[in-house]
Amino acid sequence: MSLPDCSPDSVSFVSDAPLRPYNTFGIDVRARLLCRIEREDQLIGIAHDSRVTGLRRLVLGGGSNVVLTRDFDGLVLLIELHGKRIARQDGDAWYVEAAAGENWHDFVAWTLAVGLPGLENLALIPGTVGAAPIQNIGAYGLEMCERFASLRAIELATGEIAEFDAAACRFGYRDSYFKREGRDRFAVVSVTFKLPKAWTPHADYADVARELAVRGVAASPQAIFDAVVAVRRAKLPDPLVLGNAGSFFKNPVVDAAQFAALKAREPELVSYRQPDGRVKLAAGWLIDQCGWKGRAMGAAAVHERQALVLVNRGGATGAQVLALARAIQKDVFERFGVQLEAEPVCL
Ligand code: EPU
C-alpha cells in the first residue's frame, strides 16, 4: 500500500486565480493563490507548507453563499473532496456520510435512489455537502440540523482533524459556529447525516402542499422531492443562468409587542410564530411591499419572482450587490422599523 503524499509539493498553487467560476453570484474577482483540495491530506500538508505561511485562507465549496467584494489577498482552498457511503445503522436510523465537495442536490437525489429518505425537502439547494452545516440550510419545513449527526473538519492552522457533534456546531437559523467564530479556522471535510428509519413526511408548507395537490399524488419521499424541485424551479433563479446566492436576507424575527404593533398597521403582514413566542416575518414580503421586486441598481437586481433573491444581471461587482442590499435595508427599516440581516457571508 502506498502512503498518501503529504509533502508540500503534493499540492500546486495557481497564482492570480480568477474566482468568477467559483461563486454562484458570478462576481469577477481574483485570488493571490488558489489550490484545489482533492484529498484530505493536502489540507494537512498546507498547514505546514512554508510557501503559504502567514497567508489568509478562504475555504470555498460551491461558492453559493458568499458575496466577494474585492480581490482576495490570500490562499483560496477549493474543496473538491468526493465520496459518499452508508456508514452504519442503529435501531432508529441510517447514518450516511458524504465528503464536503459533493454537490448537495446530487447527494440528496442519491439518498433517495438508495432508499434512504429524509432529506427530500432540501432538494435543489445550491452548494456542497460541506457548506450545508455552515449555513444550516433549510427549506419547506425542514432544517439540515434535524438530520445532522456529526462532521469532520481540519483546523487550517495546525492540520489537526476535529469531530463536531450537533451541540458543538451550535446551529441556529441559517447559522452555526462555522459561520461565526469558526470561520476561516476550519475546513469541513465530511458530514454524516442521520436519516430516521421511521420516515414522516414534511408536506405542510403551503407551496409544497399545493404542488402535491395539483399533481394528485400522496406525500411519498420521491413525490416531495419532485414537488420541491418544481416549486424551486418556478420561483428561484438558476445560478448557472442568473448569478445569485439564494435568499439574500434572513427572515427577521421580532418580539411579540413589535409584531402586534406592526400587524395592526399592516394587516397583510406574512408571519410565522416561533416556539419562544417571538415572530418571524417574511423578508420577501417586506421587500416586495417596498416596491423592490424586479428593480435594479446597475447590474445588480432584485429577482422578478422572489424579492428575497438578489441577482447579477451580468457583470455586477460585489460592491454593487452590497449597495443594492443597503438600499433595500434602508427602505424596509424606514417603512417597517425592521432591520434585515444579510444571509451570505460578505467578503
Ligand atoms: N413573498 C412575497 N413576495 C416575494 C417573496 C415572498 O410576498 O417576492 C411572500 C410569499 O407570498 C410568502 C412569504 O413571503 O407568503 C414567504 O415566501 P416563501 O414561501 O417564498 O419563503 P421565504 O420566506 O421567502 C424561506 C427561505 C428559503 C426557503 C423557503 C422555503 C429564508 C431566508 N429563506 O424563503 O431559503 O427555500 O423559505 O422554505 O429563510 C435560502 O435560505 O437561500 C432559501 C432559499
The pLDDT of residue 10 is 74
- Of the residues 146, 174, 176, 211, only one is catalytic, namely 174
Ligand 1: centre distance to CA 121 (Å): 14
Predicted confidence at residue 170, as pLDDT, reads 98
Q: What is the pLDDT of residue 9?
A: 54
Is residue 177 within 8 A of residue 148, CB to CB? The reply is no
> Do 138 and 174 touch, CB atoms closer than 8 A?
yes
User: Catalytic residue at 343?
Assistant: yes
Q: In degrees, to the nearest 5, what angle opens at C-alpha 342 toward C-alphas 30 and 269? A: 150
For residue 159 the three cell numbers come to 492540520
Residues with Cβ < 8 Å from 323, sequence gap 6 or more?
Answer: 297, 298, 300
Question: What is the residue-wise DSSP string for 137-184?
Answer: -EETTEEGGGGEEEEEEEETTT--EEEEEHHHHT-BTTB-GGGTTTTT
Mutate to test the pocket of ligand 1, among 144, 247, 286, 341 (most ligand atoms within 8 A of CB): 247
C-alpha grid cell, residue 304 = 422578478
Atom of ligand 1 nearest to the CA of 135: 41
Active site residue 174: yes
140 alpha carbon to ligand 1 midpoint, in Å? Answer: 9
**What SS3 state is found at 232?**
helix
Q: Measured in angstroms, how far is the CA atom of residue 343 from the centroid of ligand 1?
A: 13
* Secondary structure in 3-state letters for 243-281: EEEEECECCCEECHHHHHHHHHHCCCCCEEECCCCCEEE
Active site residue 176: no
The residues lining ligand 1, judged by C-beta closer than 6 Å to any ligand atom, are 139-140, 174, 205, 207, 246-247, 250-251, 270, 282, 284-285, 288, 293, 306-308, 343
For residue 249, the ligand 1 atom closest to its alpha carbon is: 32
Question: Would you write out the chain's pLDDT as a tens digit for each of its 347 residues?
Answer: 344 444 445 789 999 999 999 999 999 999 999 999 999 999 999 999 999 999 999 999 999 999 999 999 999 999 999 999 999 999 999 999 999 999 999 999 999 999 999 999 999 999 999 999 999 999 999 999 999 999 999 999 999 999 999 999 999 999 999 999 998 899 999 999 999 999 999 999 999 999 999 999 999 999 999 999 999 999 999 999 999 999 999 999 999 999 999 999 999 999 999 999 999 999 999 999 999 999 999 999 999 999 999 999 999 999 999 999 999 999 999 999 999 999 999 99
Closest C-alpha to 100, from 26, 28, 193: 193
Kindly give the number of the ligand 1 atom that is closest to the alpha carbon of 305: 8
* pTM of the predicted model over 0.85: yes
By most ligand atoms within 8 Å of CB, the mutation choice from 279, 285, 310, 341 for ligand 1 is 285
Amino acid at 4: P
Which among 38, 43, 40, 35 has a CA at the least distance from the CA of 15? Answer: 35
Q: What is the dihedral of CA 110, 35, 127, 313, to 10 degrees?
A: -140
In contact, 150 and 163? CB cutoff 8 Å: yes
Q: Is 120 helix (H, G, I), strand (E, B) or coil?
A: helix
Three cell numbers written together for 188? 469541513
